Amino acid sequence: MARIYNKIEIEKLREGGRRLASVVKAITQRIKAGSTGLETDKFDFDLMAKNGGRPSFLHHDGFPASICLSINEEVVHGVPSRRKFNDGDLVGLDAGLFFKGLHTDMAVTVAVGKIDKKINKFLKTAKKALEIAIKQAIPGKTTGDVGSAIQEFVEKQGYNVVKELSGHGVGYQLHEKPAIPNFGKKGAGKKLFPGMIVALEPIINLGGREIETGIDGWGVKTKDKSLSAHFEHTVLITENGNEILTI
């Protein structure tokens, strides 16, 4: 059963979310041609420490880095490396902050340099899909309502949602109940209640939806090598709607 958080816990999550958002903003401003994933990862670790927390992802299930950094056809869980970013790359940054005993989770996908209109439309669709998901995340709605809205919008734009990966509850654990797939049927799934904390994260592919895990055992890639994009916010379900915590 999904956890319902109290006012004291929510205030800690609210502060943690604000700090995580500031870290992610600072990281995105450093993403440029010639910089590397390892440099980005070290910057993230140091900045989270300055913010009074630590990276949620470091050593989570054995993950070897502070952030997940996924480039182009890499979907999620990419391990930062010495690979340099090039103009035209799409770089997905997925970061979590453990602050005062609680986790918040956030992801963005940023373009390095200039991208053409086709890729720009794809990136905007991924970002808009998160906005649509958030609008559905209110009391009385279900996880199926959220997933259905994401899927319908993304597929109308000519793209595919990744069905093997989903949003989730977050708080005392990095991944809690309920699972929130990026597809589904209206009215199906688990009902959303005030006090729930959820990480909504549409993950979409420019080409086919099929994915595979890379040889390092971590990075998930599109099977057809098409581009992928990913946006995520930690959201509190409130009595009258919701509140985005990672802003």
Question: 1: pLDDT confidence band, cut at 50, 70 and 90?
Answer: confident
Q: Render pLDDT for 196-230 as a digit per residue (tens, 0 to 9).
A: 999 999 999 999 999 999 999 999 999 999 999 99
The CATH superfamily assigned to 7-244 is: Creatinase/methionine aminopeptidase superfamily (3.90.230.10)
* pTM tops 0.85: yes
What Rg, from alpha-carbon coordinates, does the chain have?
Answer: 17
Question: 101: pLDDT confidence band, cut at 50, 70 and 90?
Answer: very high
At 151 the pLDDT is: 98
- Enter the tokens of residue 69: 């950094």
Which residues face 71 on adjacent strands?
Answer: 91
Q: Render pLDDT for 49-88 as a digit per residue (tens, 0 to 9).
A: 999 999 999 999 999 999 999 999 999 999 999 999 999 9
